[in-house]
Structure 1
Amino acid sequence: MKKALIALAVLGLTGGAAVAQSSVTLFGVLDADMKYVKTGSLKQKKLDSSGLNTSRIGVRGTEDLGGGLKAGFWLESEVGVDNGVAANGGAFWGRRATVSLTGDFGEVRLGRNKTASRLHLEDFDPFTFTGLGSVGAVYSNLGSGNGTSFGRADNLASYSLPGGLGGFYGGVDISAGEGTGTNKGQSVRLGYKNGPLHVSGTYASTSNAADNNKFKLTSVGGAYDFGVARPSLSYTQTKYMGREQKIWTASVTAPLGQGQLMAAYTDAKANGTAETAVTGYTPIGDAKLLAIGYAYNLSKRTALYTTFSQIDNKGAAKFLVAGAPAATAGGQKSSGFDVGIKHSF
C-alpha cells in the first residue's frame, strides 16, 4: 500500500512538472462585415466574413525542453462567421498545421504554413492581404496555377534566423511536391527591422510535377514610422513562361483618434506577352487599386472598421475586390464598401 502511495505521489510530481514547463493556448478572431460590392453593372449586398482580419480559431502550445530548447505546435482553421463553415478549401487546419523546434540556432518548422514570400508581402500591405483593401486582389499567378509564392504551402520545411541579430532577420522554406499536380517550391526572405525603419526583400519560385516551368516572384519593400504616419513602398515582379506582371504599391498607416487610418494605391501592369492569349491561359491586363480604411479600437480585443476600395481594370483584366460579383468582360471596374466588427480572443 505504501509503495502504491509513493508511486502515485511520484506520478503527481512528474505531471505537475510537465504542466509547469508547457503551455497550451486556445485563440481566435471573429470578424464579420456588411458590404456592398459592385462589378460593372452587377451589384450585391451581403453579410461576409474576414473584412479586416481573417476569422479563425486555433490552438497552439510550447514545451520548454531545457537548455534554451523549446518544442511547439500550432493548429489554425479559418471560420466563415457569416455561415459557420470552415473556409480552407476542404482542409480543416488549412491556415496552419505545424510542429517546431526553437533554440539559439533559430527555429525549424515543419508543416502547412505561410511562405516566407507571403510574410514579406503582408508586411507592406496595410490591409495584410485581407478584405476589400487587399493588395493581393490584383496579383496574378499568370496562368501557372502556382499561387503558393504569395500564399500558403503544404509539405513545408522552414528555417528562421534567431533574434538578437541587431535588427536583421531572415528565413527560408522549401515545399515538397509529393505527386502530380501539387506545388513544390522554395522562397527566401532577408530583412532589417530596427526602430522606425523596416526593409525587406524576398525571392520565390514554384512549379508542379505536371509543369516544369517555374513561376517566379521577386519583391522588395521599405517603410519608415514617423510616429504621426508610417509610409511604405513596395515593388513586386512575377514571371512565368515569358508572361510578366509588375506591381507597385504605395501605402500609409497613421494613428487617428482611438484607431488607425489605412490607405494604399497599387499599380499593376502586365507585359505584352501576358496580354496575348495562350492555350489554356486567360490573358490579363493592367489594373489600379485604391483602398482606404479605418479601424476604431473599442478595446485591445474589439474594433469597429470600415473600408472602401476600387479596382480600375484595363484591357482584358478582370480583377475583383473581395466578395464582388465575377466580371462578365475585361476592363470593368470592381468596387466595394463595408462596415464591420472584429473581436479577438
Structure 2
Amino acid sequence: MTLYGRLNVTAEREKVGSEKAVYALEDNSSRLGLKGEEDLGGGLKAGFILEHGFDPTTGTATATASFWGRQSEAYLSSKFGMVRIGNFGSEAQLAVADWVSMHNHDTGTSYDKLNAYVGANTNKVAYRTPGFVKGLTVEGSVAEGSATEKRSYDLAANYELGAIKLGAGYSKQGEKKELGVRAIYEMGAYTFGAYVQRDANVFAAGNRNNLRLAAMYTLGASEFHVNVGVAGKAGDVASSKATQATLGYNYNLSKRTKVYGFYTRVNDGAAKLYGDDFSSLAVGVRHNF
C-alpha cells in the first residue's frame, strides 16, 4: 500500500465583476490518497485507490462531505484490460482539457472555466482496453442515474506517438453531451497544446463551440506558460460568448516541489453563463509526496 498526496496553495488578489478586489488563500485540488495492488497470479491483479480532497488553508474536506469523495474505486486488471468500479472522474475530461491546462493541472482559480464537464462521477463501472495498439488506450464508463439525474456515459481515447500526443472524449447525460479532441506536440524546450470541444445543452439550451490553445517553454528549472480559451455563443443566448487567458511561471525546486505565479482573467458575456468577469494575480507552492 502506498500513501501519497499533494498540497497546492496560492495567495491571490482576486476581482469578481465590479466588486472591490480581495486577497485570499486558495486551495488548488490538494489531496491525500491511499493506493494498493495485489498480484493474484496468471497476470491478474486487484487494486484500489482512495483519495480525500482537502483545503490546506482550513483543514476541511472539499467538494463533498464524503471523506473519500475525490476518488474511491476498486479494479481488476489483466492482459485483457481493466475493469473499474466506484467513484472517479470523467476520463473524457482527462483526455482533453486536463492535458492542455499545463500551467497548474486545471485546478484552482485558473482552471478551465469554459470547458463543458458532463456526467456523474459516482456509482460508475468502467472498462479500459490493454495496449492492443502501441501507445493507444480506450476507456468507456457508465454511471448509475438517480431520481434527479439520468444515467451518464463517458468514452475516451488517448494515443501517444513520440512527440505527438492525441486524445478524444465524449460524454452524455440525458440531453447534455460534449465531444472534444486534443493534440499536444513537444519540440525540444517547447510544448504546444490545443483542444476543440462541441457541447449541447450544458451551459444553456443549444450547441456551443469551445477552443483552447496553450504553450510552454522550459529553460532549466523554469517554465513559461500561456493559455487562451474562447467559448462561442451558446444556443440562441445573446451575449454568451466568453474568453479566458492565463499567463504563468513555474520554478521547479525539485521533481516534487515547485513555486509558481500566474495571472488569469475571464471575460464573461453579458449573459453571465460562467459566473461573471473574474481576474486573479497569484503566487503559490505545490508539493507532491
Q: TM-score range by the shorter chain?
A: over 0.9
CA shift for structure 1 position 314: 2.1
Change in 2 beyond 3 A, CA 1:128/1:234: same
- 2:226 corresponding residue in structure 1: 263
1:61 counterpart = 2:32: no
CA shift for structure 1 position 238: 0.9
1:153 to 105, 116, 121: 121
Describe how 1:208-287 pairs up with structure 2 within 5 A: 214-240=175-201, 242-275=205-238, 285-287=240-242
Q: 1:152-193, CA deviations, whole angstroms, 9 ceiling, x for partnerless residues?
A: 61111111111362212211111111x301352101112321
1:336 counterpart = 2:284: no
Q: Distance in 2 between matches of 1:223 and 1:155?
A: 32
The percent identity for this pair of structures is 26
CA shift for structure 1 position 92: 1.4
Q: Distance in 2 between matches of 1:223 and 1:31?
A: 25
Residue identity matched to 2:154: S
- 1:210 corresponding residue in structure 2: none
Structure 2 unaligned spans of 5+: none
- 2:269 corresponding residue in structure 1: 314
Which structure has the highest helix share of the two?
1
Describe how 1:282-297 pairs up with structure 2 within 5 A: 285-297=240-252
Is contact 1:148-1:183 (8 Å) kept? no
- 1:190 corresponding residue in structure 2: 157
Structure 1 unaligned spans of 5+: 1-23, 141-146, 208-213, 276-283, 321-326, 328-332
Q: Distance in 1 between matches of 2:86 and 2:61?
A: 19
CA shift for structure 1 position 242: 4.5
Q: Distance in 1 between matches of 2:273 and 2:279?
A: 12
1:110 to 71, 80, 85: 85
**More displaced 10-residue stretch of structure 1: 249-258 or 304-313:** 249-258
Q: Distance in 1 between matches of 2:222 and 2:42?
A: 41
Q: 1:207-263, CA deviations, whole angstroms, 9 ceiling, x for partnerless residues?
A: 3xxxxxx20101011111112211112100110284222100011122133132221
- 2:22 corresponding residue in structure 1: 44
Residue identity matched to 1:123: W
Once superposed, which parts of structure 1, at least 4 consecutive aligned residues long, lie more than 6 Å away?
Answer: none
Q: Distance in 2 between matches of 1:164 and 1:124?
A: 26
Q: Distance in 1 between matches of 2:205 and 2:63?
A: 31
Is contact 2:93-2:169 (8 Å) kept? no
Count of matched residue pairs: 284
Is contact 2:264-2:281 (8 Å) kept? yes
Is contact 1:34-1:339 (8 Å) kept? yes
Is contact 1:39-1:335 (8 Å) kept? yes
Q: Distance in 2 between matches of 1:168 and 1:139?
A: 24
Q: 1:2-37, CA deviations, whole angstroms, 9 ceiling, x for partnerless residues?
A: xxxxxxxxxxxxxxxxxxxxxx00111111111011
TM-score, normalised to structure 1's length?
A: 0.78
Q: Distance in 1 between matches of 2:247 and 2:194?
A: 16
CA shift for structure 1 position 317: 2.2
- 1:144 corresponding residue in structure 2: none
Is contact 2:217-2:225 (8 Å) kept? yes
Which structure has the highest strand share of the two?
2
Is contact 1:319-1:334 (8 Å) kept? no
Q: Distance in 2 between matches of 1:318 and 1:180?
A: 26
Residue identity matched to 2:254: S
- 1:27 corresponding residue in structure 2: 4
Change in 2 beyond 3 A, CA 1:217/1:268: same
- 2:138 corresponding residue in structure 1: 170
Change in 2 beyond 3 A, CA 1:273/1:318: closer
Q: Distance in 1 between matches of 2:63 and 2:221?
A: 33
Q: 1:92-122, CA deviations, whole angstroms, 9 ceiling, x for partnerless residues?
A: 1111000000110111100000122121121
1:124 to 100, 125, 147: 100
- 1:281 corresponding residue in structure 2: none
CA shift for structure 1 position 302: 1.2
